[in-house]
Structure 1
């Protein structure tokens, strides 16, 4: 597919997510909300026509529409490299690139939470809408990009309403809340600590807060992420280096670093329990891979649950989840096909309009001179409308180019000579 829009503008997605890049790179690329509009302004100033940036805990990616994708790609990669303070070859190896149909499919998948670390995370579409809102405010969203995102939201809504793909993360978060209540009772008297900023961790934290946990603190090795989550959850944020002290105060520790390193050690938990005089700690590890030393399972007073443990309680087997994911993907592909077909059909609008305008002009001219004689007027109108096409067809036949003639002949037959 060479063109999605009548103007020959194309769609491009460039980004880094939990599959393509290291957490260290995503931390360097991460944009807090006040930084988004200046970032978009920089892209526009350098020549990118339409653009939007999605910056979350698990991904940073730029969506754009431009007439020159090569130019747009060079600009975007350059600005991302500048943001990360890395050279272009170093950063390019950790980026993914989608264009045309694949770019639209990716946007649909992101909005529908089918591209997430945990498929079905309900807050993803809200994050995309926040990114969209900021791009609109910056004046960097044109008609083409707007149509794509409206179609993506409609697809996300259909996926969520017609499948159970979103039930898994919600159920896991609900189970975590239930276990916390069974262990600690009234959560309003408890303190919570979130280490990290993954979407599943944020969802679980939100559920705990909504259930009554009022004293909640977020920390992250990258301070900007802790502040962002704290703003979303309306809670406190602290220094990552103070996590040992904060763990001593926390009744519930929630981890979501996804960093392939253990941010909560057995020794850390043992020390916290000693300071707390063995008052129990509920530890929820939502990291993929895990953030908590498995040795914590052997510590009396520490109750460690990872995603697998919570899921065992929340759901009945893996087969049902995969079936829902397949159903969601099927819906997405159907919506994508309809969207792309509509784009191609809109490409014919200018030509159809010009044709109608030409025909109407000839009709008015004939009526002005022979409007009182219907037979003469209609015969003259047909002769005028067919004069130029007839000349072109005769010229094409005289050139003896069989391939072009057959193609034109089939098109004329399909357009005008088929029986209705």
Structure 2
């Protein structure tokens, strides 16, 4: 049975941040979820959970049925009915699913194109699927091709430079506002990938004191453990704000999580000491009124890009070049899979021909070469000829269409059109040869 690729999930284009938070899993939760998928009949599946996306990438002999089962599992995970996810989940199959995985691995499907975190997240999800025994030849081939494509994109295009320059700009502005970063503290709102990148840059520049808060407390607690920082409940956010010299917002819920009123109250308690606010949320996390407050220096991704002098035209050109590499790789992957799939059939055909040759020689060892080859040809073509006659005898249109399709395939496989005199129909040539048998 043919195994096909598919992906089902919720990402920053199709769903709300609130739904992705409900679907998201931390590393310790993933093995149990993979076992649940195994119980649903999956034997090749990868669960990818990031801030931008929660997706199941799989290879299955019945992809559409499997996608429905996965949707039910996701609804159960979110504590919702399957109908509640309608319109927020996407499903892709075949080449479209492969292209999507390649794009994710190459960071072309991220909120900030070129950010490097997602490839590491794909590899971590791959390791967990492998540990759970949920990888197989089809999924392994797809993932290895995705990694090779990501390497090409990184080495042949400047796609990663934009994200890197944004982080460098954030560090530069933080130093301009506060000087030595070892003396300041940061509050990170949410667990978005771009926010994590900015935090990494600030840590490398000397920042030591970090507190994390997120709408889902368990995710904030896990992020705090990973970064070596502290955790604060989302409900206590307003109490944590006055101690933050740097605020990195990376929530993306589609509503403002840091309002002018909240920040004004925090600034009064800070006695108007300056605050550097980095809004990496897409959509924005920080209310525009925050920028009107004295001593509040608010920068979104576009502002940081301007600081880094990274032009949109250059970024879009790099993205186009990267997509061209992805499409080339997807086509090559599909071609290689088709060639591999054809090998068993060709081997079986060769074995069948060889068996007929041996049988003929054993039964008619005294024939000369001409007679023997004519007899062999007749034997080899007897079965196909009978099948074509049977299709022709089928009175309904389906039989005739099947015969026409078979004739076209024969012409292509054996290049019969090369043997047909100019002006003669290749299908007619198949018929004339069949009549001579």
Q: 1:133 to 1:413 in 2, by over 3 A?
A: closer
Mapping for residues 299-318 of structure 1, pairs under 5 Å: 299-318=293-312
Specify the alignment match of 1:138 in structure 2.
132
1:263 maps to what in 2? 257
Q: 2:3 aligns with which of 9, 31, 38?
A: 9
Contact 2:278/2:298 (<8 A) preserved: yes
The answer on 1:173 being equivalent to 2:167 is yes
The equivalent of 2:408 in structure 1 is 407
Instruction: After TM superposition, give the deviation of residue 125 of structure 1 in Å.
Output: 0.7
The DSSP-based 3-state class of the residue aligned with 1:347 is helix
Q: 1:240 aligns with which of 210, 234, 238?
A: 234
Deviation at 1:363, TM superposition (A): 7.3
Report what 2:345 is aligned to. Answer: 351
User: Does the 8 A contact of 1:193 with 1:250 survive in 2?
Assistant: yes
Tell me if structure 2 keeps the 8 A contact 1:168–1:315.
no
Query: 1:192 Cα shift?
Result: 1.0
User: SS state of the match for residue 259, structure 1?
Assistant: coil
Q: 1:271 to 1:349 in 2, by over 3 A?
A: same
Match of 1:150 in 2: 144
How many Å separate the matches in 2 of 1:31 and 1:394?
A: 58
How far 1:189 moved relative to its partner? 1.8
Q: Which has the higher contact order (CA 8 A, sep 6+)?
A: 1
C-alpha distance in 1 between matches for 2:385 and 2:264: 92
Residue 159 in structure 1 maps to residue 150 in structure 2: no
Inter-partner Cα distance in structure 2 for 1:270 and 1:394: 86
Seen in structure 2, the aligned counterparts of structure 1 residues 384 and 178 have a Cα distance that, compared at 3 Å, is: farther
Question: How many angstroms apart in 2 are the aligned matches of 1:199 and 1:85?
Answer: 25
Indicate the residue corresponding to 2:180 in structure 1. 186
Match of 2:74 in 1: 80
Q: Distance in 1 between matches of 2:74 and 2:405?
A: 47
* Structure 1 residue 276 displacement after superposition: 2.7
Distance change >3 Å, CA 381–CA 173, structure 1 → 2: farther
Q: How many Å separate the matches in 2 of 1:363 and 1:395?
A: 20
1:83-94 matches, within 5 Å, as 83-94=77-88
In 2: Cα distance, 1:383 partner to 1:130 partner = 61
Mark the runs of 5 or more structure 1 residues left unpaired by the alignment.
1-6
Question: What does residue range 314-329 of structure 1 map to in structure 2 within 5 Å?
Answer: 314-329=308-323
Deviation at 1:12, TM superposition (A): 1.4
Return the alpha-carbon distance in structure 1 between the equivalents of residues 205 and 409 of structure 2: 69
Counterpart among 41, 44, 49 of residue 50 in structure 1: 44
Deviation at 1:365, TM superposition (A): 7.8
Give 1:81 shift. Answer: 1.0
Give the root-mean-square deviation of aligned CA atoms: 2.8
Once the two structures are superposed, what CA deviation does each residue of 1:356-400 show, in whole Å capped at 9, x if it has no partner? Answer: 4445667778999999x9x97x77985675342232465468779
What are the Cα deviations for residues 229-253 of structure 1, in whole angstroms up to 9, with x where unaligned? 2233232222112222222111111
Contact residue 57 and residue 225 of structure 1 kept, 8 A: no
Partner of residue 19, structure 1 = 13
Which among 383, 388, 409 is matched to residue 379 of structure 2? 388
What residue number does 1:222 align with? 216
Contact kept in structure 2, 1:284 and 1:305, CA below 8 Å: yes
TM-score (norm 1): 0.89
CA distance in 1, matches of 2:372, 2:305: 73
How far did residue 172 of structure 1 move? 0.5
Please say which of residues 299-308 and 133-142 is displaced more in the overlay: 299-308
What is the alpha-carbon distance in structure 2 between the residues aligned to residue 168 and residue 70 of structure 1? 38
Contact 2:356–2:380 (CA under 8 A) maintained in structure 1:
no
Corresponding residue for 1:202?
196
Query: Structure 1 pair 111/204, CA: closer, same or farther in 2 (3 Å)?
Result: same
**Distance in 2, Cα, partners of 1:408 & 1:283:** 64
Aligned to 1:107: 101
The answer to whether the 8 A contact 2:353-2:380 is kept is: no
Distance 2:250 2:357 in 1: 70
Distance 1:278 1:39 in 2: 48
Does the aligned pair in 1 maintain the 2:106–2:153 contact within 8 Å? yes
Partner of 1:253: 247
Residue 208 to residue 359, structure 1, CA distance change in 2 (3 Å): same
Bigger Cα displacement from structure 2, 242-251 vs 142-151: 242-251
- CA 1:315–1:192 in structure 2 vs 1: closer, same or farther (change >3 Å)? same
1:179 is displaced (CA, Å) by: 1.1
Whole-Å Cα distance in 2 between the matches of residues 215 and 205 of structure 1? 11
Distance 1:258 1:355, change over 3 A: same
Rounded Cα–Cα distance in structure 1 between residues aligned with 2:376 and 2:418: 16
